[in-house]
């Protein structure tokens, strides 16, 4: 169930460094494993933490993840994005979406 609208976390801080009022996001669309891989690559999270972060975003119990394509916007500041090479987009703008093929 994906209408293409990214979901934005209510806490307005960078997912990697917790910098407040982060206005840039990484747009990711795909199945759960895709998001977990994106968190590992773009936020440098270990796999368990990436998996836990994804579950927290979607309210899943451990070991249970949605088996559908979902779109998500992870807040990531430009400094953190530069470290991992992630392409970030200003909130409300269209930009690069890391979509699962
Ligand atoms: Zn950051």
Q: Which residue has the higher pLDDT, 57 or 95?
A: 95
Per-residue pLDDT band for 99 (boundaries 50, 70, 90) equals very high
Question: How, if at all, do strands 7-8 and 24-30 pair?
Answer: unpaired
Domain ranges of the chain: 7-99
Distance 5 CA to ligand 1 centre (A): 23
Kindly tell me if the per-residue pLDDT of 6 is higher than 90: no
**pLDDT value for 52:** 86
- Joined together, the tokens standing for residue 75 give 């807040």
- Express each pLDDT in 55-85 by its tens digit: 887 776 666 666 788 888 999 999 999 999 9
Cβ(81)–Cβ(87) below 8 Å: yes
- Express each pLDDT in 19-51 by its tens digit: 989 999 999 999 989 999 999 999 999 999 998
* Ligand 1 is an ion; residues with CB less than 5 A from it: 14, 16-17, 19, 77, 80
* Closest by CA position to 29, among listed 21, 16, 40, 38: 38
């Amino acid at each position: 169930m994906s209408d293409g609208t990214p979901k934005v976390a209510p806490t307005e801080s960078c997912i990697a460094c917790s910098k407040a009022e982060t206005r840039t996001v990484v747009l990711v669309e795909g199945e759960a494993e895709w998001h977990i891989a994106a968190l590992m690559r773009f936020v440098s999270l270990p796999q368990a933490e990436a998996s836990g972060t994804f579950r927290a975003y979607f309210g899943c119990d451990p070991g249970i993840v949605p088996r559908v394509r979902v779109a998500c916007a992870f807040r990531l500041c430009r400094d953190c994005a530069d470290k991992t090479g992630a392409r970030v987009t200003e909130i409300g703008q269209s930009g690069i979406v890391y979509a699962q093929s």
